[in-house]
Amino acid sequence: MIFSLIKLVLTFPFIFVLPGFFLLLAVFGWKNEKISFFEKAVLVVPMSLISVDLLVLALNRLHIFLNGMVLIGVIIAFSLLCYIVFQLRFRKKTKKKQEEEISRNYFEFSYWQAIFILISIFLAVFMRTTYLSDTIIPSSTDLGHHMFWVQKIVDTGSLPDYGMPDFIIGEHIVFAVVNLVSGASIMSAMPVLVLLFLNIVGIFTLSILAGRIFQSPKTAAMIFFVSGVLYAINAPQGKYVSGGVVGNIIGNMLIPVALYFLYRAFSEKDSSFAGLFLFSAAGLLYTHHLSAFILLYSIAAVVLAYLALNFERIFKIIGDWLKIFLKPFPIAIFLLLAFYFLFIFTPSYFNPAAVAQATGEPTKITRIGLNLGQLEANAGSARLILGALGFALLFLSFKRKDYKFSFAFAWALVLMIMSWKPGWLYVNIPSDRIGNYLYLPFSLLAAFSLVELMRLFRKSSTIFLSTAFLFVLLFFVITDGLSDSADAFKVRPQFQEVMETFHSAKYLAEKLDTSQDILLKDHVNISGDSWYKLFFMKDYNYPLSRGMLFRYIDSTKPRETCTRDMISNPESPEGQACFSETGVNYIALNVQLEGNSFEKYPDFSKIYSSNYIAVFKRN
């Protein structure tokens, strides 16, 4: 166990640091005042993740079998290539040239700021770890679905053809690479540890974006409290990590990175950042369609807001942007990415039908927008209120013609409209899924407002009143923001039910002939059932599953109901017809619920019985 842990811990820097470090070295050199140590240390992780994704896509296109040695070799080769580029580019650069590129460093924290950050990070990691320790056995539904595809990559040594737009390759490559390099099992803590790591890095990426936009180490420091400590367990934080909501976790890390590079490209007229913006945006496109969609709308809002607020200089601004992007580095990155999209790997959702499905007038009740209560639940009351305050303070503190105003203002505004009134922007996506992204701009604004309020209170002439107000505000923020973390300390049942589910799956995988036998399991009442498919590795849809009952009701299109009827009414004419149609001859049920009632049906034999699972065979 210890050796496996050491191997896994050593794999993390190899995959998540090494390629990104050398990539940034090739772009910025060893010591470049444009980018601080803190920013580089944060950015190596997303840059590594995207580099590894692109390397694996290329290997797959070249039909090279993916295994541990190949992946280690290609990561080292990529790092060496970047090092050679670094040598060629920076060997002859004079000190004078570098001094010209000095930009302000907003990440040199004072003693108390650093202490504040360290306490926040400690709490953020501690609360997540405590919560996850009760859910660490792999059992969540989404994670099970994702890990099936990861196992497929590991088993076949190539990337899968999903045959459906629900999954995107970037959600799975990283887990397969960690498995192949470290040997850590997919049915272990590994997937959750990867997600926890990316979730924590996501706090850092938001911090460097805040530091740059608000040009203040204080705001960068405050982000660790607002997005790391407050609502540490609620979605999209600890619950998304344990739930295996892979795309959102990676998206929440990459969206701030893409905006960070875009902000710096625009505000500093720097083509290196423009190239890295394209690189990170492409990484997001290969990872999560919804996050990419959110980024697209966010960028459009920022660009349009900036142009509208600087209308008199519109042609000059567009000309400046063209000058930034029409430089060798961004053009080279653009061409490389275009080549990837056209010839290496086209994301499965890149088709007109998928775009048409996501845009237009909302077609379902779940897509018409969230009410205030739902918005509050998504962003968190304290964060929403502080964010709204920050939104108002923007108008007092910032010049409206600056980039920082457009970025902070338009990003929050567009996500609010997309969540609240999606029809206004022709967004046709479940509103609660969009609402999960609200926390990003609202964390930024909440951190800004806390810093500004403290500054204003310190200046205030009535110190007593302002201090009292500040304490009341902080009391509300902390009590509300930490209320969800109480979940982390509740005693929950240990992992017996999940292990019994795994035992039944192992039994069935060993005993059944999957070329003839069709298994149906009950997702409604069995914990960890989505991991069943990893024991069979036959097909994504094997075994069949009775889904949540509300899924069988859809006013827009007819849904199959056999998987429901064969468990709910096996002796009804509908149920009998379904058995003939599907060929189902084994059913796995929760023994205490449907399991007991199934014993009265003479058509079935009960072949397996534990405290939790019963398996019936149709005679």
Which residues of the shown chain bind other proteins in the complex (CB under 8 A)? Answer: 1, 4-5, 8-9, 36-38, 41, 107-111, 113-114, 117-118, 121-122, 125-126, 128-129, 132-133, 136-137, 187-189, 192-193, 196-197, 200, 204, 494-496, 499-500, 503, 507, 511-513, 517, 586, 599, 602-612, 615, 617, 619
Determine the residue type at 540. Answer: Y
- Are 358 and 303 in contact, with CB atoms under 8 Å apart? no
Q: Which is nearer to other proteins, 184 or 477 (CB)?
A: 184
- Are 518 and 585 in contact, with CB atoms under 8 Å apart? yes
Q: How far is the CB of 557 from other proteins (least distance, A)?
A: 37
CA distance 205 to 440: 11
- Are 173 and 56 in contact, with CB atoms under 8 Å apart? yes
Q: Return left, alpha or beta for 63; rule: phi > 0 is left, psi -120 to 50 is alpha, else beta.
A: left
Q: How far is the CB of 35 from other proteins (least distance, A)?
A: 12
- Are 461 and 405 in contact, with CB atoms under 8 Å apart? no
Q: How far is the CB of 15 from other proteins (least distance, A)?
A: 14
Q: Which is nearer to other proteins, 469 or 495 (CB)?
A: 495
Q: Please report how the helices 403-420 and 372-379 are oriented relative to each other, as an axis angle in degrees rounded to 10.
A: 120
Residue 427, φ and ψ in degrees, nearest 5: -105, 125
Q: How far is the CB of 450 from other proteins (least distance, A)?
A: 19
Q: How far is the CB of 489 from other proteins (least distance, A)?
A: 15
**Strand arrangement, sheet containing 544-546:** 544-546, 518-522, 584-590, 613-618
Q: Which is nearer to other proteins, 197 or 476 (CB)?
A: 197
Q: How far is the CB of 595 from other proteins (least distance, A)?
A: 11
What is the radius of gyration, based on Cα positions, of the chain? 26
Determine the residue type at 507. Answer: Y
Q: Which is nearer to other proteins, 17 or 474 (CB)?
A: 17
- Are 48 and 177 in contact, with CB atoms under 8 Å apart? no
Determine the residue type at 541. Answer: N
How many residues would you count in the chain?
619
What is the DSSP track for 113-125? HHHHHHHHHHHHH
The three-state secondary structure class of 588 is strand
Q: Which is nearer to other proteins, 197 or 329 (CB)?
A: 197
CA distance 415 to 425: 10
Q: How far is the CB of 352 from other proteins (least distance, A)?
A: 43
Q: How far is the CB of 242 from other proteins (least distance, A)?
A: 10
Q: How far apart are the first and last CA of the chain?
A: 44
Q: Which is nearer to other proteins, 313 or 511 (CB)?
A: 511
Q: Which is nearer to other proteins, 81 or 114 (CB)?
A: 114
CB within 8 Å of 167: residues ≥ 6 apart: 145, 146, 149, 348
Q: How far is the CB of 453 from other proteins (least distance, A)?
A: 24
- Are 588 and 519 in contact, with CB atoms under 8 Å apart? yes
Q: How far is the CB of 39 from other proteins (least distance, A)?
A: 9
Q: Which is nearer to other proteins, 200 or 386 (CB)?
A: 200
